[in-house]
Amino acid sequence: MSTFQAPKGTYDLLPPSSATYLAVREAIAAPLRNSGYGYVETPGFENVELFARGVGESTDIVTKEMYAFETKGGDKLALRPEGTASVLRAALEANLHKAGNLPVKLWYSGSYYRYERPQKGRYRHFSQVGAEAIGAEDPALDAELIILADQAYRSLGLRNFRILLNSLGDKECRPVYRAALQDFLRSLDLDEETLRRAEINPLRVLDDKRADVQKQLADAPLMPDYLCEACKAYHKEVRELLDAAGVVYEDDAKLVRGLDYYTRTTFEFVHDGLGSQSAVGGGGRYDGLSEMIGGPSLPSVGWALGVDRTVLALEAEGVDLQLPATTSVFAVPLGEEARRVLFGKVTELRKAGIATDFSFGGKGLKGAMKNANRSGARFTLVAGERDLAEGVVQLKDMESGEQGPVALDAIVSTLQAKLG
């Protein structure tokens, strides 16, 4: 055992469970690639001010959870706690919005970092797949992203998730609601920190998970009652598009999400089999974020889906993904000449697209076959001096136990036929 362990609140992804994480990432990315979204990758750390401005200085993410540090050169940086601000920064820096083809549609996958209290489904290092549609104000974009996330989850076999939907209004109607909510919150018996938060960003109080706070919020004014006509019409069209696509959702007037940049459409995917950490993903529209970080007006919408929590949701539903075999063929040489010949055949099989492994380390037949079993290989190739003298290898079907000789020059074609 090593002297060192993974830092508290983090985890290592190791085979065979890591294959499930890869499959989840691929399932989420597949409908995005099929819908015009191009891949983007950003640094694991950014200027700390990017997140202070974009995510919001009053949010728990910035005030309590962000890993911030100063470099030897005096730069103030932070490990990225979320993806949207970084992706928008990258798009602006590359002037993608000036190419004349709006919206700019991007998807990404990576690790994110928050100083959380570690618990199941809530880590200090976590993995997400996200998507952003930058530069267009269109209800169809909001609906598209929700539909694509719904497709991704269903392609994995998930069924017991719910989509929560709300509108947070815009710069015209939200200030009116904000004032009404602040007046209401000032009348409650709240602790000092919560009252301070209510003065800075009262909508964040609606997201408070404490039972005693939620009880007092039962009669709080709700954003849908304060939406202007433009926001009502926008939200109505999003809902109609989802209805037409057969996507089932629930209206949640208290849904605000954890970031300050959201406007109008907000949504969350929740799975009731995960306990308190029920959100598996979510997102919304962020029409003012570009200006917040020094860019032009670029109304945008996006989401991020948690890979870790999606895996937990699959476990909660008892869904076993049909994962492709990492090894289809395992080669077992018996002797130095067989080692040379079979290693060459392994290379040929790999070039032909057949997942093939080799018995390294000079193990005997018994030990090599144990490794073949552990690898999950469908077939094994075994060859000794007598086999090579006859120009053959022994091909064994690990499922049926059948075994027979195959000519050396027919190994690739034979396995291609058997594996389809």
Q: Check whether 291 is labelled as a binding-site residue.
A: no
Give the up-direction half-sphere exposure of residue 43: CA atoms within 13 A in the CB hemisphere.
10
**Alpha-carbon gap, residue 110 to 295, rounded angstroms:** 24
The pair phi, psi for residue 47, each rounded to 5°, is: -60, 130
**Alpha-carbon gap, residue 164 to 146, rounded angstroms:** 10
**Alpha-carbon gap, residue 240 to 246, rounded angstroms:** 10
Q: Check whether 162 is labelled as a binding-site residue.
A: no
Q: Check whether 262 is labelled as a binding-site residue.
A: yes
Q: Strand 250-251 and strand 125-134: pairing?
A: unpaired
Q: 172, 171, 166: which is closest to 223 by C-alpha?
A: 166
Q: How many CB atoms lie within 10 A of CB 376?
A: 16
Q: 140, 141, 159: which is closest to 150 by C-alpha?
A: 159
Q: Check whether 182 is labelled as a binding-site residue.
A: no
Q: Check whether 257 is labelled as a binding-site residue.
A: yes
**Alpha-carbon gap, residue 265 to 283, rounded angstroms:** 8
Whole-Å CA distances, 294 to 85, 92, 312, 327, 351? 12, 9, 38, 50, 49
Annotated binding-site residues read 82-84, 114, 128, 132, 257, 261-262
Annotated binding-site residues for L-histidine read 82-84, 114, 128, 132, 257, 261-262
